[in-house]
Amino acid sequence: MMADVLLLNARVLTLDPAHPIASAIAVRGGRVLAVGRVDDLREVAGSITQTIDCEGGVAIPAFHDAHCHLLAWARFTSGLDCRHIDSIEGLQAQLTKRAANAPAGEWVRGNGYDEALLGRQPDRRDLDAAVPDRPVRLQHRSLHLDVLNSKALQTTGLSASDDRRVERDPATGEATGRIFSAGDLLRDRTPRPPYATLAENVSRATDQLLAWGVTSVQDASFTNGEGEWELFHRLAAEGHLRVRTFMLVGSPHWREVCRWRSESRLVRHGPVKLMLDEATSDPDDFRRELHAARKAGRAVAVHAASEAEVATAVDALRSAPPGPLPTPNRLEHGSVVPDGLLEELRGVGATVVGQPALVSERGDVYRAEYRPEQHGWLHRARSFLAAGVPYAVGSDAPVTEPNPATGLSAALHRTTKSGAALGRDEALPVIEALRAFTLGPAEAVGVGCELGRIRPGMIADIAVLDPDALNPDRESGVERLVRATIMEGSVVWRAGAREA
């Protein structure tokens, strides 16, 4: 059999324990045909074989983001980027400027604000002072808090809502403008971008992901339902969505999945996404919903960031109905896990999907808020693996930028923006870090037999990195690491690799 593509002169890290290292890869029909030495694989090169000289680069399974919000990240740049605004006054000035340049009547959107930079949480009065005459929606960096101005509260009808997620001043009873974990509450009350705009944003986001070596993502949005399922299919069919997308199904919609259209090459199902918020969730309601999904044979992915949320999730999983699952049960984030919960996590067989990039992005805040002896509890990695808890990595984009270089550096070094260490003992060795960004996500969504390794028969999704990209002494994770990205055997992005 002749190869369609032959990658030569690479340092191949296959993540296949039977054949961990090679120097060449042959691809046919979108799958890996053979892996071995250059001299061994030349015999499968024919007259039409595309040969790529990797020039000593490192070939790995392509990166796979195990937890992101793809549509939210694609739309992120259409609003005001608030991630680096460092005062309430600065925020107000930018919102006023944004409103002045927007068409009449259009909502003003701000994304990614950080109260640690602003000095406090903003409220509707802060937004009213900046933009009094049109609706404003400001979204927190976590995606779990929105702030509306008075005009937006009136337009959405939430100023009179008795929903407990709408925060009210205990003295006056008036809405503060802050709305917690209420994406579904706002979904049909706020304008959505037209399809053409969204398609353009998704196309641009896809191009960037492929340039970063990412060929698969898992959209973990709690609001995902049939509308998003159809949207992903349309975006893929029209060529805007060019990365493989596994859509986790929001808890309100999982019972309907059997009536949806079938999966496609690029758009597939993920587990049921359950939200757990220690401030607002009823533990009994949460447990009933988790048990219902498990009884129906569905795996669950539970949003559980805090220590209390992780403990509640573990308790519910422990008492869940047994039975085979198409994918593992998961805990999304597991941001704070004390030592005592490690064994319990192993006992329920849950995969933890973490975000090591937050060690870099928020590590200095964590160092100030948590005692030194607790630093190892934060965004664990090595101790999960040591305890036998499967571990995979996601970006949680747009919470962090979905550039795996940043997360990989954080996983290897556990260094904050200021250069301080945060729980250095939780740093991962190179191969384990690489697994967490490739094979771990594939196994977390039940496709470890197709993706995440470079071995014969696997889908040929490959990233070719700079020769020193995985050097543990390389401190910077924000430089470009990728020379070429190959998806299903086709070169979909290229920088340094050349065709021979």
Q: Which amino acid is located at 221 in the chain?
A: S
Q: What is the pLDDT of residues 173-200, one digit of tens each?
A: 999 999 998 777 888 898 888 999 999 9
Mean pLDDT in residue range 319-344: 94
Residue with tokens 């799958």: 31
- For residues 74-90, b (16+ Cβ closer than 10 Å) or e, as one string? bbbeebbebbebeebee
Q: Do 431 and 336 belong to one domain?
A: yes
Q: Do 30 and 155 belong to one domain?
A: no
Residue where a domain stops, chosen among 187, 208, 239: 187
Q: Do 342 and 270 belong to one domain?
A: yes
Residue where a domain stops, chosen among 187, 213, 232: 187
Q: What is the pLDDT of residues 15-36, one digit of tens each?
A: 999 999 999 999 999 999 999 9
Q: Do 307 and 438 belong to one domain?
A: yes
Looking up residue 298, the CATH number of its domain turns out to be 3.20.20.140
Give how far Cα 122 sits from Cα of 162, 228, 277, Å. Answer: 21, 31, 21
Q: Do 170 and 36 belong to one domain?
A: no
Q: Do 270 and 409 belong to one domain?
A: yes
Looking up residue 469, the CATH number of its domain turns out to be 2.30.40.10
Give CA–CA dist 485/64, Å, rounded. 12
Using alpha carbons, select from 435, 422, 350, 357 the residue that is nearest to residue 392: 435
DSSP, collapsed to helix, strand or coil, labels residue 208 as helix
**Cβ–Cβ < 8 Å for 65, 441:** yes
Q: Do 121 and 34 belong to one domain?
A: no
Q: Do 330 and 249 belong to one domain?
A: yes
Residue where a domain stops, chosen among 163, 187, 211: 187
Domain holding 127, by residue range, is 79-187
Q: Do 332 and 290 belong to one domain?
A: yes
Q: What is the pLDDT of residues 440-492, one digit of tens each?
A: 999 999 999 999 999 999 999 999 999 988 876 665 544 568 999 999 999 99
Q: Do 10 and 116 belong to one domain?
A: no
Q: Do 102 and 235 belong to one domain?
A: no
Model pTM? Answer: 0.91
Looking up residue 129, the CATH number of its domain turns out to be 3.10.310.70
Using alpha carbons only, give the angle 319, 322, 327 rounded to the nearest 5 degrees. 110
Q: Per the structure, how many domains does the chain have? A: 3
Give the Cβ contact number of residue 203 at 10 Å: 17
pLDDT surpassing 90 at residue 42: no
Structure tokens at 177: 């403008």
Q: Do 442 and 322 belong to one domain?
A: yes
Give CA–CA dist 117/84, Å, rounded. 8
Using alpha carbons only, give the angle 23, 480, 493 rounded to the nearest 5 degrees. 65
Give CA–CA dist 293/325, Å, rounded. 11
